[in-house]
Amino acid sequence: MLDQALSQTLNRASRSARARRAVESFPVTRKVVDRFVPGETAADAVAATRRLIATGRTVTLDVLGEDVLDLAGARAMRDAYLALLAALAEAGCAAGADVSLKLSAMGQALPGGTTIATDHAAEIAAAAAALGCTVTLDMEDHTTVDSTLAIGTALRASYPLVGNVLQTNLRRTPGDIADLDGTGARIRLVKGAYREPASVALQRKAEVDGAYERAIDALMSSDCHPMIATHDPAMLDRAVARALAAGRGADGWEAQMLYGVRPELEQRMVDDGHRMRVYIPFGTDWYGYFMRRLAERPANVAFFLRALAHRSR
């Protein structure tokens, strides 16, 4: 109960400019953020990529930043992804890498945003495809789902490896899986990081977990490429069993986890012969991402407060 209240507060704080200024001004924050965000520059992201590839993992990279307010911001974000892809190629670690895009950062919410975001994402998808990389469109709050799925479908006509994300807290997701079956799309399955109203989303964790299990089953028996993105070992065990039952080999699906959350579980998946992709966010605009990670697991707040207390001693 207390955890739920704290989680709601943190989710609200993730959208508050005042809370943002306060958290960013704690001198210790950067040190704690490092656990989830390995750096601010493309060079930092490439260095983290190298380290992870050396341990048998693959990566998906996210340039942090959401909700750009003008066309110049959206173009700057597109350019940041193009520069990232060039840096990966330069370092010899582009092949097999994925980049995760938030369409809100590509201009989706601007007037004429669907065309702007689609064009920016298409430029990134073209550059990625030329280097043997893939692109995944992150899913944001429920008001963006129709648009994000439609943009994914449009992009796959030219770039078949562009993936979409589905959130099992949303009531619509079983229908979306059924609609995507037959397209062969790469689909990342997540529980959902955004606080959503009961009219569109399941509210209890047990319900979201149950929906996640059913969605694993549906995706594994579809023709989509399932990307099971969770730190929940019970869900991963289920994915392993269902992949086996569906006759999917190591190339037929993958697990995904966020950088720094459960490295030991990542390693277990690698050691067991499964494809394991780590989501690496980087950049200066880490606030919203960091606060959502705290909201997901209020125990992380204790970690943050301990670091603060230690610092003030």
Which residues of the shown chain bind ligand FAD in the complex (CB under 6 A)? 138-139, 165, 167, 190-194, 229-232, 256-258, 261-262, 279, 293, 296-297, 300
How near is the Cβ of 180 to ligand FAD at its closest, in Å?
15
- Residue showing tokens 């298409």: 122
CB of 63 or CB of 258, closer to ligand FAD = 258
Closest separation in Å from C-beta 194 to ligand FAD: 5
Under 8 Å CB-to-CB from 272, ≥6 apart: which residues? 240
Minimum distance from residue 14 beta carbon to ligand FAD (Å): 12
C-beta of 161 vs 258, nearer to ligand FAD: 258
Give min distance, CB of 313 to ligand FAD, in A.
Answer: 25
Neighbouring residues of 198: CB distance < 8 A, sequence distance ≥ 6: none
Cα separation, 253 vs 249, in Å, equals 8
Beta bridge partners of residue 164, listed in sequence order: 137, 187
State the number of CA atoms in the 13 A half-sphere of 69 facing the CB: 0
Cβ distance to ligand FAD smaller for residue 23 or 90 = 23
Q: How far, in Å, CA of 139 to CA of 192, rounded?
A: 8
Catalytic status, residue 188: yes
* Nearest CB to ligand FAD, comparing residues 194 and 286: 194
Query: How many CB atoms neighbour CB 157 within 10 A?
Result: 8
**In the complex, minimum distance from the CB of residue 138 to ligand FAD, in angstroms, rounded to a whole number:** 4
Among the listed residues 78, 186, 188, 292, the single catalytic one is 188
- Count Cβ atoms below 10 Å from residue 13 Cβ, excluding itself: 18
Find, among 99, 93, 90, 87, the residue nearest to 51 by Cα: 93
| Residue 171 neighbours by CB distance under 10 Å | 16
| Closest alpha carbon to 240 in 209, 210, 274 | 274
Shortest distance in whole angstroms from residue 155 CB to ligand FAD: 16
Report helix, strand or coil for 84.
helix
In Å, what is the CA distance from 46 to each residue of 104, 264, 290? Answer: 24, 21, 20
- Quick one: 42 or 290, whose CB is closer to ligand FAD? 290
Tokens of 56: 């048998």
The residue from 138, 156, 275, 293 that is catalytic is: 138
Distance from the first to the final alpha carbon of the chain? 31
Distance CA 196, CA 11 (A): 11
Compare residues 35 and 86 and give the one whose CB is closer to ligand FAD: 35
Active site residues: 138, 188
